[in-house]
Structure 1
Amino acid sequence: MKTQKGFTLIEVLVALLVFGLIATAAAEVGSQYISSYERVRDKTLASWLADNRINEIRLEENLPGIAENSRDTDFGPYRWRVTTAVLATAEAKMRRVEVTVARYREDRTEPVPIHTLSAFVGAQ
């Protein structure tokens, strides 16, 4: 008498279910990794832009006037909006500077804020 060797239909279906669950979990982990990487990348680039803007203001010879302005710039492979707000303080020879950096996304017309940096700048 010949005996047949192999898997039953139930065993194959259970194996497919297990592999399907593992593949779904792996895809979710991969998606979270990519999202985390994008957030860290955007935060790093935005913080460099904000830090650069603060240093530009510190290198100016005169104390900046109280105002708010925005400019668009390309940095890395992305387009950014850098908004600088110069605010008064109780000390007349000192200003508070807030720089907000937002990144333009392909699916939106307005940029998405990523990072804000504050600093104080004083007259020499």
Structure 2
Amino acid sequence: MTVFSKSLTTGAKPASSMSKREKGFTLIEVMVALAILAVVAVAASRASSAYLSSVDVLRTRTLAHFVAQNAAADLRIQDTWLTANRTQTINAQGRDWQVVMTVSDAITPALKKVNIAIAPIIEGQTRPVVTDIDVLLSNSKQEIGSLDLGSVEGGNP
């Protein structure tokens, strides 16, 4: 049994006899590890920046859609009959918005098609339109009447 314990003790090297190479990392290994870490950090930073940007765009579009729906509801509630285009600036949803209402004729004179386009106003500058909706308004003072669908292009005479 002493032979076994003797072979264990003779096989181990004292800590002072280890070479410098076995004690830690070389400068090149550390620099490669830092370079890999830097690349990963830059990629993660760009991905998070793109994510935050897309979240902001979606939030702006969602709020703009709420503003457009509210503008359409106001037209219907106030029973407004638009005859000309209208542009107004409103403050809603905690932001300033430009609301452009473009009026066009519909199938019958008793109906008007209104396109409501919403653009955010940031630092006093109107940005591009982020959402728009189409609504039909009816004139309660004018009878809708019947439609002659045979006279519509593509219909049978």
TM-score normalised per structure 2: 0.71
Contact 1:96 1:118 in 2 (8 A): yes
What corresponds to 2:24 in structure 1?
6
Q: Deviations over 1:11-45 (max 9, x none)?
A: 01110111011101101110111111011100010
Structure 2: stretches of 5+ with no match in the other structure: 1-16, 141-157
Match of residue 117 from structure 2: 100
Larger radius of gyration: 2
Equivalences for residues 6-45 of structure 1 within 5 A:
6-45=24-63
**TM-score between the two structures when normalised by the length of structure 1:** 0.88
Count of equivalent residues: 122
Q: Which has the higher helix share?
A: 2
What 5-or-longer segments of structure 1 have no aligned partner? none
Mapping of residues 1-124 of structure 1, within 5 Å: 1-4=17-20, 5-61=23-79, 64-106=81-123, 109-124=125-140
- Runs of 4+ aligned structure 1 residues displaced above 4 Å come to none
Q: Which has the higher contact order (CA 8 A, sep 6+)?
A: 1
Matched AA of 1:96? K
Contact in 2 for aligned 1:68/1:83 (Cα 8 Å)? yes
Identity of matched residues, %: 26
Instruction: For 2:135 and 2:54, locate their aligned partners in 1 and report how far apart those are by CA, in whole Å.
Output: 28
